[in-house]
Chain A
Amino acid sequence: MAELFIEIGCEELPARFVVSTMEGFAASMAKLLGPLASTAPRSWATPRRIAVAFSDVQAETPRVERLVTGPPVAAAFKDGVPGPAAIAFAGKMGVGVDALQRVAGPKGEVIAAVRMEGGERLVDLVGTGLEAAILGIPFKKTMRWGTRREQFPRPIQYVCAVLDGVRIPATVCGQDTVATSIGHWLWFPEPFVVVSAAQWERALFERDVVADIATRRARLVRLLTEAAAAMGSDLNIDEALADEVTNLVEKPTVIVGEFDSGLLSLPPRLLVESMKVNQRYFPLYRDGALTNQFLVATNNPHGDAALIARGNARVLAARFHDAKFFFGEDAKKPLVEHGKRLSGMLWLREVKGADGRALTMLQRQAMVAEAGAGLAAVCGADPDRTRAAGLLCKSDLPTLMVGEFPELQGHVGRKLLEDVEHVDARLALAVEEHYHPRFAGDSIPTSAEGAALSLAERITLLDAAFLAGHAPKGGGDSLALRRAAGGVVAVVLGGMGHLSSATVPQLFSAAGVLGSDELTEFVLARLKALLSGEGVPTDVVEAIAATGSTSIGDIAARARAFGALAEGGQMAAIRVTFRRVAGLVKQNAGEGVPLQELDGAALEAVGRALRDAVVSIPASGRVEEQLASLVALRPLVDAYFDGVMVMAEEPGSRAARLGLLRGIVARFSTLADFSRLSTG
């Protein structure tokens, strides 16, 4: 058994591609090696290298003898003398004519030859297949470089390929493979010889490269945690940022930076997002509040920490200088004054008012405020406060601050209201929260007023766009209506006030819009997608939706209850049984005696037992109770099917037996339409 090790050395890969490239390469190599590799590979990756090792590969595929049959003896030999067919077959098989055998075939005797198969050498397989395996890794975005035609996320600098320390000759992107690797580019630019994966990893570690992602991340988190503790601060680590930074450096080293504390008067989201998104810094907190210190992971383990910290602090100062100026300017006027300039901004070109002109953002703001006030009751919000917040909710758009940092819309309005005007904090919060959720999975409003305005903002957009004929078709959705509908679903599922029991048309009506069946379906489609994403089987979601409910909370509650059954492995049997019930009822529509008129004498014992069980099910109940009844009923239904032939010849018996099934369907008609369940 031998060890195969391959490393692709490249210029800095985008951090977000490091893991997927590593996994893709391991899969690609495993595919190339096929049965030669018997165990799963180990993989490593940094921004500058992707590596994989197979610890016990076979040097060649096993050799086997295989008997290959050819043409009939009669056609191959004439009077015992080999003819052209025999000579051609022997040639093809690589044997002499005298080595041909005769074996019995289904249609008589045929000639045959023994061929040696297998014996394919790993070095040949890798030698010829390595480039295709590397270029065949699935990438999201690739580029070319120099005069090469090949594509990779960033230029490849070398490929190290060794089998037990011996180089495997191959060419990748015009370059021969090597048996060496390189450590940290700054400190260890000299190549070193690679003997094995373990030696390579150790040699890299000595050369300031931590090749294993998990080890590198652990080192990063440990250094961050220690630095925060030493400062007496809280890290509140952002895990996604830690993932990204892990793949921005080959050996993380943590340095503390500091910016002018005067900048802390800026909206905290600006500071935090600038630090995290633009600079990949880790902000530090104390007592829940942001401090003017941050941590930065550098890629130079032996650099001048003070110098590096100073440089990083300068960047922030420059970045925040404009912001401080802008925020200061903005704070000179109350938010309502800024809002007046909304009259000069258009909402959407697609949406026109009664005068045929596109609505301004001022009109849009008023629209959201009114709809929000209408939705306040169902959200458990104060209608006056909701309207007041609504009438300011877009007013920060004309500020210099939002002009410069559009992602801070809402937040700037809130900060101006809180810090400068000192208005009711709940009102200010609603101004910011009406933008939530901004994307799938984002946090939803925490305040009832925020929830009402969030729904108002989305419902009015959806209604206006649908009325104007801009419902999304196919993949296109330029107005982001799917996201808006997804937002409605998310906020309703948050369950503020009475939202859980509200139907979609009720929400439309409360928001003061007409809505339509098409729009209701559009919103419910997002709910279905969400539930499917949670793992509720699609057919179950459809069966529930087919009952005609338009309440997001109700459909979700039922779907999740069914989803729990599915997870518990009980759905398969339920599907089979109740789909059969629903199918028989559907195929024989109109037949069957109503349950209450059903005479027990017309039923057999299994039928009577089933009837009694069905009748005793409460007509309405909580979802969990109904599901429990369903689960309990199933064995009785199965016994019924086993015991009687529903489609009896005798009309009286058939009517009674179908009637019982109809009764079951009716009893659960508010739970799900069983005929939509799939048994395949």
Chain B
Amino acid sequence: MVERLSFQDIIFRLQTYWAGHGCAILQGYDAPVGAGTFHPATFLRSLDPGPWRCAYVQPSRRPADGRYGENPNRLNIHHQFQVLIKPNPPDIQALYRGSLEALGLDLKKHDLRFVEDDWESPTLGAWGLGWEVWLDGMEVTQYTYFQQVGGIELDDIPAELTYGLERLAMYLQDVEDVYELTWVGRQGHEGAIAYGHIFKANELEQAADNFDTVLAGAQVGGSEDLFHGFVMWEKEAKRLVGARLPLAAYDCVMSASHTFNMLQARGAISVAERAGYIRRVRELACACAVLYRETSRMKLVDRRAELGR
């Protein structure tokens, strides 16, 4: 590799590339989520009538994957670069390959493969078919044609491309440890800022929060409050669905889902109870989706009238 892109250069390149193909470049959503799919720009906009194109970086929290900043490959928070294009254009696969070339990859040297992967999010009532895209055996992108979102069969089909930025960057920068990635500047040069410098302390603290009480064998200190938190977000989401405010309600669904992930990381939810919690989140997500599908097709003036404005 001639050129070693910094982490943020990779983001810039992808943003520029996809902006060039009509995507609105958004910011990651300001709520803790497990994946870029949760972002309303993907989850709710998939249900919109008509075309939609966007791209954004979504910091994604997987509490169970935290490793105190000690594991070179696993993180509590990693970054997904998410592209959603609806309806998918016929040449979307070629567009995707073009995005890799925009990162300086000469595909003629590498082995790029599309390996079957049926994607499903039981908490979002969503599923799709597609592939995990392998670059020299490494999964660098999750590529999905959504079929159903929020329990609703979609009219036009969006293609969702989710790049795992850390993995991609480790490959492009040729480092074995995620914390050695260069976020900005040139590796080893003055002024360069390393990934570890930015995120390592947070990884340590988040993992300590998620695991230590469990490992000490004590009754988990924060779990009771988290359970209450889950119920609170659930109640709040239901109230807002009742008030016909799907966007606001969906914020609470994301919070409920994240709270569930925290409880899981702490081992506070038994295998038997797990399905029940997933169902509860799904029911909320589906209720938001159904309502959003209705309100997003209303004229703004009618919505204002409905809400007394």
Interface residues of A (CB under 8 A from B): 11-12, 14-16, 47, 141, 143-148, 153-155, 157, 186-187, 248-249, 257, 279-281, 296, 298-300, 302-304, 307-308, 310-312, 314-315, 317-318, 321-322, 325, 346, 349
Contacts and interface: CB of A to CB of B under 8 A. Distances in A.
A307 B109 contact: yes
B298 interface: no
Contact of A296 (B114, B129, B137, B272): B137
A329 B155 CA distance: 50
A249 B90 CA distance: 22
Contact of B110 (A12, A141, A311, A315): A311
Given A146-B90, A321-B71, A321-B72, A248 B157 contact: no
A141 B73 CA distance: 33
Given A143-B129, A318-B73, A349-B272, A311 B135 contact: yes
B118 A141 contact: yes
B145 A155 contact: yes
Nearest to B74: A322
Interface residues on B, range: 35 or more
B109 A303 contact: yes
Q: Which 5 A-B pairs have the closest CB atoms?
A: A311-B136, A14-B116, A312-B137, A12-B114, A298-B111
A42 B95 CA distance: 34
Nearest to B273: A349
Nearest to A319: B73
Nearest to B154: A144
Nearest to B129: A143
Interface of B: 67, 71-74, 87-90, 93, 107-116, 118, 128-129, 131, 135-138, 145, 147, 154-157, 171, 176, 270, 272
A149 to B, nearest CB: 9
Nearest to A304: B109
Contacts, number: 111
25 contacts: A11-B93, A11-B114, A12-B114, A12-B131, A141-B129, A143-B157, A144-B157, A145-B87, A145-B157, A146-B87, A147-B87, A154-B129, A155-B88, A299-B111, A299-B113, A303-B109, A307-B109, A307-B110, A307-B136, A308-B111, A312-B138, A314-B176, A315-B136, A322-B74, A346-B272
A292 to B, nearest CB: 16
Contacts of A349: 272
A640 B129 CA distance: 68
Contact of B89 (A146, A157, A249, A321): A146
A325 B171 contact: no
A251 to B, nearest CB: 12
B175 to A, nearest CB: 10
A405 B72 CA distance: 19
A303 B108 CA distance: 6
Contacts of B107: 186
Contacts of B74: 322
Contact of A143 (B67, B90, B128): B128
Contact of A310 (B90, B136, B154, B155): B136
A155 B94 CA distance: 13
Most buried by A among B74, B89, B114, B118: B114
Contacts of B108: 186-187, 300, 302-303
A77 B267 CA distance: 93
A315 B137 contact: yes
A15 B136 contact: no
Contacts of A279: 137
A314 B168 CA distance: 12
A300 B110 contact: yes
Given A141-B129, A318-B72, 17 more contacts: A12-B116, A15-B116, A143-B147, A145-B157, A146-B87, A153-B129, A155-B90, A157-B90, A299-B113, A300-B112, A304-B109, A311-B137, A312-B137, A315-B136, A315-B138, A321-B72, A346-B272
A412 to B, nearest CB: 18
Most buried by A among B73, B147, B272: B73
Contacts of B73: 318, 321-322
A520 to B, nearest CB: 30
Contacts of A146: 87-90, 156-157
B90 A147 contact: no
A312 B136 contact: yes
Contacts of A148: 157
B73 to A, nearest CB: 4
A273 B111 CA distance: 22
B138 A308 contact: no
Contacts of B171: 311, 314
A15 B116 CA distance: 7
Nearest to A157: B90
A456 B76 CA distance: 42
A664 B291 CA distance: 76
A409 to B, nearest CB: 14
A12 B132 CA distance: 11
Contacts of B67: 322
Contacts of B88: 145-146, 155
Contacts of A147: 87, 155-157
A248 B113 contact: yes
A565 B147 CA distance: 53
A187 B131 CA distance: 21
B274 to A, nearest CB: 12
Nearest to A301: B111
A632 B36 CA distance: 76
Contacts of A11: 93, 114
A308 B110 contact: yes
Most buried by B among A16, A307, A311: A311
A298 B114 CA distance: 12
B104 to A, nearest CB: 13
A262 B71 CA distance: 17
A224 B120 CA distance: 35
B3 to A, nearest CB: 15
A147 B155 CA distance: 7
B116 A16 contact: yes
A143 B155 CA distance: 12
Contacts of B129: 141, 143, 153-154
A311 B170 CA distance: 11
Contacts of A47: 114
Nearest to A314: B138
B89 to A, nearest CB: 7
B87 A308 contact: no
Contact of B111 (A144, A303, A318): A303
Contacts of A310: 136
Contacts of B154: 144
Contacts of B113: 12, 248-249, 298-299
Nearest to A279: B137
B87 to A, nearest CB: 5
Contacts of B90: 146, 155, 157
Contacts of A16: 116
Contacts of A155: 88, 90, 145
A153 to B, nearest CB: 8
A11 B114 CA distance: 9
A307 B174 CA distance: 11
Most buried by A among B108, B116, B157, B270: B116
B154 to A, nearest CB: 8
Nearest to B73: A318
A298 B128 CA distance: 26
Contacts of A314: 138, 171, 176
Contacts of B111: 298-300, 303, 308, 311
A248 B137 contact: no
Nearest to B147: A143
Most buried by A among B89, B115, B137, B156: B137
B21 to A, nearest CB: 15
Nearest to A149: B155
A154 B131 CA distance: 10
B260 to A, nearest CB: 19
A186 B109 CA distance: 10
Contacts of B156: 146-147
Contacts of B114: 11-12, 47
